[in-house]
Structure 1
Amino acid sequence: MSRLTTLLGQRLRRDWLQLTLWIGGTMGLALVGVSAVASTYGTEQERAALLATVMANPVILLFRGLPSGPGEQAFIVFLLMPFLVMMAAFMSSFLAVRHTRGDEESGRLELVAATTAGRTVPTIATIVHGVLANLLLGLLVAAAFLTGGSPAEGSWLAGFTAACGGLTYLGVALLAAQLMRTSRGANSLAVWVLVVTYFIAGIGNAVGTPSDDLTHMESSWLTWLSPFGWAENTRAFDENLWWPALLCLGAFAVLAGAALALQAVRDLGASIVPERQGRAAARATLSSPTALVSRLATGSTVGWMAGAFFTGALSTSLGSVVNEIGAENPAVADLLKALSAEADLEQAVVVVFFTMVGLLAACAGVQTVARARQEEAHGTAEPVLATPVQRVRWLADFVVIGFIAIVLTCAAAYLGAWVGAAGRENGADLTSDAFVAAWGQAVAASVFLALTALIFTIAPRWTIPLGWTLVTTAILFGLYGPLLGLPEWVTNLSPFTVAPIPSGSEVDLRGMWWLLLVTGAGAAASLTLMQRRELASAG
C-alpha cells in the first residue's frame, strides 16, 4: 500500500495544475450554463420552440445532446452534457497516456519497475489517480447544478454521468497505451476513438424518432454504440435513468482489465501493434529538416483536413434548410445571427460553420508545434541539432509547417463548401462567403500557432497543456458564448469571434489587424528567444 500511495502522490504533484484547469473549466462550463440558460431561454415556450427546430433539422444533433423535454434543467443538459463528458474524456485520456506510455518512453517507468513496485503497481496508481480525478469532476459538476437550484437527483445524476463518461475514455487511453509504441500514437488513437464515438452518438440521435410534441427524441440503436450516447440517455432532470451510466463503468472495467492483461504479456518498451519498419535509406525528399517536419506532420494534417472538408460542405448545403427554419422560428434566426454577427441567415450559417473550421485549423497548427516539444522531450531533436541545423531554423520549420497545415485545413473546408454549394442558385455567393470566412479563420488560427510556439520557448514543459487549453477556452468563449449569454467583451476575447467575415457583399475585417499583430509578435518573439534557450528534457 505504501508503494501505491507514494506513486499516487507523485502523480498528484505532477498533475495538480493540469487537473485544476480541466476540472475547474468543466465546473465553470456547468455553472455558466445553468445561469445563462435561465436568462437566455427563460420561458418553457422558448425552449420548446428551439427543440422543435432541432427536430426539424436533426443535423444540429451532431453538435448537441439528446432532447429530453423543455424543462429548464433538462434543456441545460441537452446543451451541455456532450461537452461535459468530452472535457472529462480529454482530461482522462491525456492523464492515462502521460503516466503509462509516456513514462515508458522517457525511461521513468523502467526505473520505477526496477524497485519493489514492479510494472503493475504504477499502472494501478494511474487508474486510481484517474478515478479520483473524475470523481472530483463529477462532484463539482453536481455542485454547479445544485448551486443553481436544480433538483438533487438530477444534479447528482448529471455529475455521476460526466464522471463515468470520463472513466470510459480513461480505459480507452490505458488500452491505447498498451497497443501503440509511442505516447504520440497512443494519444492519437485515444482522441480518434473519442471523436468517432462523439459523432456516432450525434448521428444516432439525428436519425432517431422525435416525440409527437417535438420536445423529446428517442435515439436510434446507433447511439448505443457510443459512451456519449450512454451518457445522454441518462436523461437527467427528466427520466433520471442511472443504468446507462453504469454501462460507462462496465466499459471502463473491461478496458482497464484488458490493459493490465496486455501489459503482463509484453516486454517493457514494446507494444502490441508492431512499429512500422522504416526504409534503409531515406528518400531524397527527406534531405532537409523542413522535409522531416513535414513528414512528421502529414498524418495529423490530413485528418484535420478531412474534418474541415466535411464541415465546409455542411456550411453551404444546410443554408437553405436553416433559412426556412429561421423564417418559421425567429429565435433560431436570432441565435445564429448572434453567433455570427450577420444579418443574412445563410451567410450566418457559413460563418458559424467556419468558426468550427477555425477550431480545426488551430488544432492542426498547435499539434504541429506541440510535436516540436515531443521531439525535444523524447531526445530525437538532439541528433538533428547536432548537425549544422540551428535551433532557430529548427523551430521555424515547425512554425512554417504549422502555418501550412492551417492553410491546407481552411482550403479543404473551402473546397467542401464549393462542393456543398454546387447546383444552388446562390452557389457563387455562398462560395464567395466561404472563401472570406476561410481566410479569416486562418488568420485566427495562426494566433494559436504563434502563442504555442512562444510557450514552447518560455515554458517548454507547458507547451502541450497550455496550447490546447488556449484553443479550448477560445472556442468555448467564441462559439458557445452567445448561446450561454456571456457578455460581448468576453466572447470577443476569442480570436475565432473577431476574425474577418463576409458582410453582405463586403468584407468586415473586424479584429484582423490585432490578430496579425499578435501572430507576428508571438512568432518573432519565439524565434528570438529560441536563440538562447537550451534543450529541455521531459519532466
Structure 2
Amino acid sequence: MSALTGTRHLVRLMLRRDRLLLPLWVLVLAVLPMTYAASFFELFPTAAERAAYLEGTARNPSIVALLGPAYGDSVGGLTAQRSGFLLLIVALASLLTVIRHTRTEEEAGRRELLGGSVLGRHAGLTAALLVTYAADVVLGLLTAAGLVSTGLPVGGSVAYGLVTVLTGVVFATLGGLAAQLTETAGGARGIGLAGLGAAFGLRLAGDTAGNDWPSWLSPLGWGARVRPYEGERWWVLLLPLAATVLLAALAYPVSVRRDLGAGVLPPRLGPATAGGALSGPFGLAWRLHRGQILWWSVGFGLLGLILGGAAEAAGRSVEGSPRMEEIVARLGGASGMADAYLGVTLSLAGLAAAGYGIQAALRMRAEESAGHAEPVLATGTRRSTWLLSHVAFALLGPVVVLAVAGLTTGLTYGLSTGDVPRQLGRMLAAGLAQVPAAWVLAGLAVLLYGLLPRLASAAWVVLAVCVLLGQLGAVLELDQWLLDVSPFTHTPQVLRDAWTPTPLYVLTALAVTLATTGLLTFRRRDIPVL
C-alpha cells in the first residue's frame, strides 16, 4: 500500500464537507481587490491626483502598518497596497482550513475511523493540503482575472494573483505542521495563529521602521516586495516556495512518527477536579469561549489603534482630486472626511464582529457534533439553559470587541486632534452602533442551529452576502431594496449630527426574535443531529 493511498477519496470527502464554506471565502476575497481598483479609477483618475493621495494617505505610517508599503502611484500600485490586508485574511483562512481537516478531525475521532480502512500514512495531511492549495489557486486566478477586467495590466495582475496563491500556500503548510505538534485543535490553532501573528509583527516592524529587513523575514512581507504593477520582481516568489517546501519537510516526517491522537508537544495536565467556575453551564460556556473573546478583543484593539491613527490622513487625502473634494465638501470639510472614513471602517469592524457572533453561536453545533452536548443535557441541565449559556457569548462578544475597537480608535484619533475625551465617546458610540446588526446575524445562526442544524453554517453565507453588498453595492449601483437585505445598511451613522436610534431598536428586536425562535425549535428536536 502506498503512503498516499486513499488521498483522492479524502479530497472528495473534504470538498463535500466544505462545499459552502470554501467557495464562500474564495469568492469574497477574489471580488474585493477588483472593487478597490474600480474605486481608484473613479476617485483618482489622473496621475497628479494619485500622487497627492500617495503622499498624503498611502504613505501615512498607520496606513502602511495596516496595509503595507506603496511603491508607486499607479492605480495598480495603490490597489496592491489597499489589498495588502486581504493577504492576512487569505493566510488565516488557509491556516484554519488545514487544521480543521487534520487535527480537528483527529481530535473528534473521525480520523481514527477512516484510518481503519485502506488509508496511507500521508493521505490525511496530503488531502487537506491539496484541497486548500486548490482553493488558493482558484482564488489567485479569480483575483487576477478580476483585476484585468478593471483595466489593470496583465503582468501586475498575474503577479498579485501569484502573491495571493503563495501566501495562502505557505500558511496552509504552516497549519499542517501545527496540527502535528499538539493533540488538540485549539492548541494547533494557537500555534498557527502565533506564527501568523509573528509574521504580521515582522512585516509591520519592517514596513514602519524605515529599515525593511524584518519584512524580508515575514511571509506577509514578501508579497509587497514582489511589487505588482511597479516593476515586478518575480524572483521574490521563490521565497514562499522555499518556505512551503521547508514547512512540508518538517510536517510530513512528524505526521508518521507520532501516535494517532497525540502530538509532539506533551499535553498540559489540568487539575484533578473542576473548580467552582465549572459547576454550571454558564461556567462551562465561559471556559469554552474565554480564549476566543480575549484574542478577538486584542485584534480589534490593535486594529482600532491603527485606524484611529490613519483618520487624520484621510482628511488630507482629497488634495488634488476634484471628485473627492466635492464629496468632502458635502461631508463638511476634512473633519467630515475623517468622520466618514471612521464610520466606514467601524462598519467593517461590525461585519467582523458579526463573524465572531456567528462563530460563538456555532460552537453549540460543534459541541453537539462532537458528542459533548448530550452528556451535559443528560444531567439536570435544561436545554434552554445550555443554549442560552452559549447565546450569551454570541451576543456579548460583539459588544466587547466593538467597544474595544471604538475606544482604541477614539484614543489614537483623539490624540491626533488634541481632543481625547470627546473622541473617545464619539467612537465608542460609533462602534456600539454596529452591535444590533451583528446581533441579527448571530440570531440567525441560533435560529438555523435550532431549526436546521445541518445548515447552521449557512449563516456564514449570509455574512458573505452582507460583505459583498457593502463593498459592491455602490460600485454596481444596485437597487436600494437589494442593499436593504443587509442589516448593516440600516445602521445609522452616529458620527453625523442628525441620526435616529429607531433602526437600532428594530434590529435588536429582530435579533431577539430570531434567537428566541431558535431556542423554541431547539427544545423540540432530537439530539444529536449529525
Partner of 1:211: none
Partner of 1:214: none
Aligned-CA RMSD value: 3.4
Partner of 1:432: 425
Alignment of 1:30-429 (within 5 A): 30-55=33-58, 57-83=60-86, 85-198=87-200, 200-208=202-210, 220-314=212-306, 322-323=314-315, 344-416=336-408, 419-420=411-412, 421=414, 425-429=418-422
CA distance in 2: counterparts of 1:493 and 1:333, whole angstroms: 31
CA distance in 1: counterparts of 2:493 and 2:151, whole angstroms: 40
Alignment of 1:450-529 (within 5 A): 450-464=443-457, 466-471=458-463, 473-475=465-467, 477-478=469-470, 480=471, 489=480, 493-504=485-496, 507-509=499-501, 511-529=503-521
Task: State the shift of 1:353 in Å.
Answer: 4.6
- Secondary structure (helix, strand or coil) at the match of 2:226 reads coil
- Secondary structure (helix, strand or coil) at the match of 2:69 reads coil
Task: State the shift of 1:173 in Å.
Answer: 1.0
Moved more, 335-344 or 230-239: 335-344
1:376 touches 1:535 (CA, 8 Å); kept in 2? yes
1:304 touches 1:360 (CA, 8 Å); kept in 2? no
Task: State the shift of 1:154 in Å.
Answer: 2.3
Task: State the shift of 1:157 in Å.
Answer: 1.9
CA distance in 2: counterparts of 1:40 and 1:395, whole angstroms: 48
CA distance in 2: counterparts of 1:108 and 1:192, whole angstroms: 27
TM-aligned CA distance change 1:30 to 1:376, over 3 Å: same
1:308 touches 1:360 (CA, 8 Å); kept in 2? no
Q: Deviations over 1:398-441 (max 9, x none)?
A: 11122222222233345435654479653332122123213212
Q: Deviations over 1:464-506 (max 9, x none)?
A: 5x4445445545654x558967658466654445423434555
The amino acid across from 2:75 in the alignment is E
TM-aligned CA distance change 1:368 to 1:529, over 3 Å: same
Task: State the shift of 1:317 in Å.
Answer: 5.5
Task: State the shift of 1:461 in Å.
Answer: 4.1
1:50 touches 1:331 (CA, 8 Å); kept in 2? no
- Secondary structure (helix, strand or coil) at the match of 2:494 reads strand
Partner of 2:524: 532
TM-aligned CA distance change 1:352 to 1:206, over 3 Å: farther
Alignment of 1:4-23 (within 5 A): 4-23=7-26
1:165 touches 1:245 (CA, 8 Å); kept in 2? no
TM-score of the aligned structures, taking structure 1 as reference length: 0.85
User: Percent identity among equivalent residues?
Assistant: 28
Task: State the shift of 1:346 in Å.
Answer: 4.6
1:89 touches 1:166 (CA, 8 Å); kept in 2? yes
Task: State the shift of 1:279 in Å.
Answer: 1.7
The amino acid across from 1:442 in the alignment is V
CA distance in 2: counterparts of 1:133 and 1:418, whole angstroms: 38
Q: Deviations over 1:364-408 (max 9, x none)?
A: 323322222221122111211111222222111111122222222
Unmatched 5+ residue regions in structure 1? 209-218
Task: State the shift of 1:196 in Å.
Answer: 4.9
CA distance in 2: counterparts of 1:306 and 1:346, whole angstroms: 24
1:58 touches 1:207 (CA, 8 Å); kept in 2? no
1:174 touches 1:259 (CA, 8 Å); kept in 2? yes
Task: State the shift of 1:245 in Å.
Answer: 2.1
Task: State the shift of 1:519 in Å.
Answer: 1.0
Q: Deviations over 1:172-209 (max 9, x none)?
A: 1111211232223333443454355345434532334x
Unmatched 5+ residue regions in structure 2? none
CA distance in 1: counterparts of 2:285 and 2:161, whole angstroms: 42
Moved more, 481-490 or 518-527: 481-490
Partner of 1:441: 434
Aligned residues: 525
1:82 touches 1:232 (CA, 8 Å); kept in 2? no
Moved more, 196-205 or 482-491: 482-491
The amino acid across from 2:215 in the alignment is T
1:26 touches 1:88 (CA, 8 Å); kept in 2? yes
Partner of 1:212: none
- Secondary structure (helix, strand or coil) at the match of 1:502 reads coil
Q: Deviations over 1:336-360 (max 9, x none)?
A: 8999999734544543453354345
CA distance in 2: counterparts of 1:189 and 1:537, whole angstroms: 31
1:315 touches 1:417 (CA, 8 Å); kept in 2? yes
1:316 touches 1:417 (CA, 8 Å); kept in 2? yes
The amino acid across from 1:18 in the alignment is L
- Secondary structure (helix, strand or coil) at the match of 1:60 reads helix
CA distance in 2: counterparts of 1:482 and 1:249, whole angstroms: 37
The amino acid across from 1:64 in the alignment is L
CA distance in 2: counterparts of 1:8 and 1:454, whole angstroms: 31
CA distance in 2: counterparts of 1:316 and 1:78, whole angstroms: 19
- Secondary structure (helix, strand or coil) at the match of 2:433 reads helix
2:169 touches 2:244 (CA, 8 Å); kept in 1? yes
CA distance in 1: counterparts of 2:330 and 2:15, whole angstroms: 41
2:56 touches 2:316 (CA, 8 Å); kept in 1? no
Task: State the shift of 1:81 in Å.
Answer: 4.5
CA distance in 2: counterparts of 1:340 and 1:10, whole angstroms: 55
CA distance in 2: counterparts of 1:440 and 1:337, whole angstroms: 25
- Secondary structure (helix, strand or coil) at the match of 1:276 reads coil
CA distance in 2: counterparts of 1:393 and 1:340, whole angstroms: 50
CA distance in 2: counterparts of 1:149 and 1:330, whole angstroms: 22
2:155 touches 2:229 (CA, 8 Å); kept in 1? yes
